[in-house]
Amino acid sequence: MNTVLVLGGYGGFGARLSRRLSEDGWRVLVAGRSFAKAKRLAAELPGAEPLVADRNADLTPLLRQHRPLLLIDAAGPFQGSGYRVAEACIAERVHYIDLADARAFVCAIGDLDERARAAGVAVISGASSVPALSGAVLAELARGMDKVRSVAMSICASNQVTAGASVATAILSYVGKPFRVWKGGMWQEGIGWRRLRRDVYAVEGRRPLRRWVALADVPDYELVPESLPGRPSVIFRAGPEAAFQVFGLWLLSWLVSWGWVDSLTGLSRWLLPLQRLTTGRVSGRSAMAVEVKGICRGVPTIRRWTLVAEDGCGPEVPTLAAQLLARDIRQGLLPVGARPAGDLLRVASFRELFAALSIKDEITTTRYEPLYRRILGQGLDRLPGPVRAMHDAIGDGGAAGTATVVRGKSGPARLIGAVMRFPPEGTHRVHVTFEEENGAERWTRRFSDRSFSSAMSQQGKFLVERFGPLRFFFSLLPDSSGLKMVMAKWSLLGIPLPLSLAPRSLASETGVEGAFHFDVSITLPLIGLIVHYKGRLALDSTEPRMSPAPAMN
C-alpha cells in the first residue's frame, strides 16, 4: 500500500482530500499542527495515522521516518510562502503536490524543475480549481480554434462551508491591491475585488444561480495567455454566496487602495465569525464557469463551460485535481520535473469524479455576430482591411500606435476636456483596448498616461456611444476608403436633446498601408474646438479573417 502524507490533512479541503485518498487505497498520514484534530480524522479512515507537522518547519526527519511516496500540501496559505516543503520532498525523493492558487507561488514552481528532474520526482503546484481544473477546461474549449481572443472565469462558493483561516488570508491578501492583468495585448492593472458583476450559472435540468463576483488574483493570469493561440485576455472573478459579503469586501478594498491600511490580512481571524453572522439562509449550491471567445474556422465563436454543484458538494471540487494527480503518480504516469498543474489533466477525468457527486457540468457553443457587422451587414466587407479588422471584434483586443492631439483653448473647452479626461495637447503613444461583452463594446483609449473610455452598443440602425450619462447616436457610412460616423441625435439621461446644441463630431477611419488611421474632431456651438486627435494604429497582420456568422437553424 502506497503512503501519502497530507499537510493540513484535517482542514476544510484537506479532510475531504484525505478521505478521497483513503477511498483510493492510499495509506494516509493525516498531518498538521494539532495532533488531536489529526487523530480524530485518522480514526475515521482505514489504516490512517495522525502526525504532528508544521509546513514552516523542517520536514526532513518526518519524511525520512515515514518514507511516503507522495506529500500533498493542503495547508497554505501559499501567498508569500517559499518552497521549503517542496525542496524537502526533492531532497528526500518524495513526489510533491499542492493545492495552491497563489499566483507567484504557482507560476515560479518551475524554478525547481532541474532539481526535481535530477531527483526523479514530480513537483506539481496548483492542483486545485485553478489552474488545474480551469486549465483542463480551457484546453477542451479552445480545441479547434484558430485564435482565442478572451477568457473569462468565475467561481462562486456556497456559504454552507465556511472559509478556513488559510482561505481567508489568501483572499484578503489581494483585496484592494493592484496586480497585472493581460488585456488588449498588453499588461494592465487590475485591483483586487473590483469590477463587480452578477454572473448567471445555468446547466440543463438545474435551477440557475445568480451570484455577485469580484476580481480575484490567480495564476491563470500568467499561465493562460501563453498556453492558448492568440494570447487571449484573461479575467477571473470569485465570490461567496452572500452578496453582502461581496459588497463588504468591495467597500474595504478602497481603504487599501487609498493607503489608509496596508493590507486586510489582519482581518482574516475575524472573517469566519463575520461570515457566520452574515450568512443567513444558505443554499448549499456552488458554481464555476469558464468562457472563451475566439475565431473557429473563420467564424466568431463563444464556448462556455458551466459547473453547478449542489447539496454541499462544491468544496469537493478543489480537491479533485490532487486526487487525480495522485493516481497518476502511483501509476508512474506523471513526468518528473516541476511545473504548474494547468496542462496535466483532462475534463473527462474530472467528470468521472463528478458522477459520484451532486455535480453537473456542460459546454455550450454559440456563434457571435460583432456589433459593427450587425449594424453594417455586408457593408462591413467593403471597408479596407485594417478598418474591417478593427471592428470585426469579439472578446478582447487591442492596437497600438501614435497620435497628435489639439485641445481647445477657451476656459469652457478646457473644463469640458478635463471632465471627459481627454488627453493633453501634443504627440502621444496610443494604445486602444476594446472589450466585447453581451453584444456591446467598451473602448479604452490610452494616450501616454491619460485614458478615457466609452461604451458602444446598437439601437436599431444606429451605433450608440455612451460617455457617462450622455448618449450619442451615429449613422455609419462605409465605403472602400473607410468609415465615417455622422451624429443623428443625442440624449442626456435618456432625455432627447436638440440636435442644434449637440457637439459637432467629425469622425473618420481609413486603412492606409496596412494600418488603421483615425481622425476625430469634437466642437461645441458657441465654444468651438474641444479636442481634435488623429493618428494611426498598427494591427496584427496574423489576425485570422472572420467570416460572417452563418444563420443558426
Q: Do 221 and 150 belong to one domain?
A: yes
Q: Do 381 and 502 belong to one domain?
A: yes
Give the mean pLDDT of 162-166: 58
Greatest C-alpha distance within the chain: 87
pLDDT for 552 beyond 50: no
Of 354, 380, 403, the residue at which a domain comes to its end is 354
**pLDDT tens across 50-73, in order?**
999 998 899 999 999 999 999 999
pLDDT for 543 beyond 70: no
Highest-scoring range by mean pLDDT, 213-222, 403-412, 435-444: 213-222
The whole-number pLDDT of residue 551 equals: 36
Give the mean pLDDT of 248-253: 93
Q: What percent of the chain has pLDDT over 90?
A: 63
Q: Do 268 and 299 belong to one domain?
A: yes
- What band does 36 get if pLDDT is binned at 50, 70 and 90? very high
Give SS3 for 197: strand
Q: Do 171 and 248 belong to one domain?
A: yes
pLDDT for 279 beyond 60: no
Give the mean pLDDT of 193-200: 94
Of 354, 382, 405, the residue at which a domain comes to its end is 354
Measured distance CA(167)–CA(13) in Å, rounded: 10
pLDDT for 273 beyond 60: no
547 lies in some domain: no
Residue 282 contacts by C-beta under 8 Å, 6 or more apart in sequence?
A: 158, 159, 160, 241
pLDDT for 162 beyond 50: no
CATH of the domain at 231: 3.30.360.10
Give the mean pLDDT of 266-288: 67
Global confidence as pTM: 0.89
Q: Do 223 and 88 belong to one domain?
A: no
183, 398 Cβ separation under 8 angstroms: yes
Average pLDDT over the chain, rounded to whole? 89
Measured distance CA(350)–CA(129) in Å, rounded: 11
**pLDDT tens across 362-407, in order?**
999 999 988 999 999 888 888 888 888 888 778 888 888 999 999 9
CA neighbor of 182 nearest in space, from 145, 138, 230, 137: 230
**pLDDT tens across 72-113, in order?**
999 978 888 899 999 999 999 999 999 999 999 999 999 999
Give the mean pLDDT of 341-367: 96
**Domain span including residue 23:** 3-129+315-354
CA neighbor of 292 nearest in space, from 192, 366, 354, 355: 366
The whole-number pLDDT of residue 138 equals: 98
The whole-number pLDDT of residue 350 equals: 97
Count: domains in the chain: 3
Q: At how many degrees (to 10) do helices 165-172 and 268-278 cross? A: 100
Residue 444 contacts by C-beta under 8 Å, 6 or more apart in sequence?
A: 184, 432, 433, 434, 435, 451, 452, 453
**pLDDT tens across 488-508, in order?**
998 999 899 998 888 888 888
The whole-number pLDDT of residue 26 equals: 96
Q: Do 92 and 149 belong to one domain?
A: no
10 lies in some domain: yes
**pLDDT tens across 202-219, in order?**
999 899 999 999 999 999
The whole-number pLDDT of residue 40 equals: 96
Q: Do 527 and 380 belong to one domain?
A: yes
Q: Do 388 and 457 belong to one domain?
A: yes
Q: Do 461 and 516 belong to one domain?
A: yes
Q: Do 237 and 362 belong to one domain?
A: yes
Number of H helices and number of E strands within the chain? 16, 27
pLDDT for 434 beyond 90: no
Q: Do 67 and 174 belong to one domain?
A: no
CATH of the domain at 469: 2.40.128.20
548 lies in some domain: no
